[in-house]
């Protein structure tokens, strides 16, 4: 009995269609024999893949908004650039059928 392949974490969801095709050619069922998750959902891969892709949605819009707030605060004299620290924004986990 052969071992199933290890779970895969794909950095960019744009590579998932090729991965799904390769799995299909090898007779591996996504979500069963091959578990896949994407660390980025920029192309909305959870909606485009069958079975639905499990993924993390990076809050790009929120990151941009927060960056503008920080720059405006610096321009207005509210904070020195060296006073900047890390700002944590929540990411959304989309639980699909692939993992």
How high is the pLDDT of residue 82?
58
Burial 3-17 (b: 16+ CB within 10 A, else e): eeeeebebeebeebe
What is the average per-residue pLDDT within 26-41? 90
- Selected from 3.30.450.40, 3.40.50.2300, 3.40.50.720, 2.40.110.10, the CATH number assigned to the domain covering 8-94 reads 3.40.50.2300
Span 21-33, pLDDT tens digits: 999 999 999 999 9
pLDDT surpasses 60 at 83: no
Q: Report the distance separating Cα 18 and Cα 89, nearest Å.
A: 30
Q: Can you read off the two tokens belonging to residue 48?
A: 């485009």
């Amino acid at each position: 009995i052969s071992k199933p392949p290890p779970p895969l974490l794909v950095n960019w969801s744009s590579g998932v269609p090729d991965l799904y095709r390769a799995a299909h050619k090898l007779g591996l069922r996504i979500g069963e024999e091959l578990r896949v998750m994407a660390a980025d959902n920029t192309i909305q891969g959870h909606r485009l893949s069958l079975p639905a892709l499990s993924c993390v949605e990076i809050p790009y819009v929120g990151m941009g908004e927060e960056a503008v707030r920080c720059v405006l605060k610096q321009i207005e004299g509210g904070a020195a650039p060296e006073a900047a620290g890390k700002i944590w924004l929540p990411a959304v986990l989309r639980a699909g059928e692939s993992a």
